[in-house]
């Protein structure tokens, strides 16, 4: 019995040390698309689409693998230099959506929120990054359904160095 207990203890320690076999996320530098930011993406393949309209750059990054991941990045001329004001403007915009439920988490540079309707709750986020006179806004891709945990993972993946 004592040997069996030692075996279980060793097996538990080894499995904890080895951890999951998932690959680390890779970084994509968005400077190639005219956006001063770097984001993390899932290790499975990703699709990147971009265009510009009326001075606003729009980049969409979507996982084509099994990891739920779809973000949209907008960059244009900043409407001010205070991060808190830009974040509050994003909150007002989200609040105007008739499906808006509530803000789940709020930070200086962004927030995670819940959307109601269409059968089930879904989650999204906004994250604002100011670089000189450029405002970069990160969000989940439109018309996608994500769980709270999936959105938290994407929110962390777009956070920028101050």
Whether 72 and 140 have beta carbons less than 8 Å apart is answered as yes
CATH architecture of 22-158: 3-Layer(aba) Sandwich (3.40)
Angle at 104 between CA 129 and CA 68, to 5 degrees: 70
21-42 confidence digits (pLDDT tens): 567 999 999 999 999 999 999 9
78-110 confidence digits (pLDDT tens): 988 899 999 999 999 999 999 999 999 999 999
pLDDT of residue 80: 80
Of all residues in the chain, the percent with pLDDT exceeding 70 is: 86
Model pTM score? 0.83
Whether 78 and 137 have beta carbons less than 8 Å apart is answered as no
Ordered by start, the domain boundaries in the chain are 22-158
């Amino acid at each position: 019995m004592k040997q069996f207990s030692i075996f279980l203890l060793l097996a538990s320690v080894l499995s904890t040390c080895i951890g999951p076999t998932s690959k680390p996320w890779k970084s994509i530098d968005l400077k190639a698309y005219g956006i001063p930011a770097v984001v993390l993406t899932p290790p499975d393949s990703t699709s990147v689409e971009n265009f510009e309209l009326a001075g606003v750059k729009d980049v969409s990054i979507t996982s084509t693998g099994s990891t739920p991941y779809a973000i949209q990045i907008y960059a244009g001329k900043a409407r001010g230099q205070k991060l808190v004001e830009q974040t509050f403007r994003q909150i007002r915009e989200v609040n105007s959506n008739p499906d808006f439920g509530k803000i789940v988490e709020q930070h200086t540079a962004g927030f995670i929120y819940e959307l109601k309707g269409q059968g089930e709750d879904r989650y999204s986020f906004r994250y604002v990054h100011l670089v000189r006179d450029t405002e970069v806004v990160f969000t989940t891709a439109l018309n996608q359904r994500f769980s709270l945990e999936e959105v938290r993972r994407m929110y962390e993946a777009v956070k920028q160095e101050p």
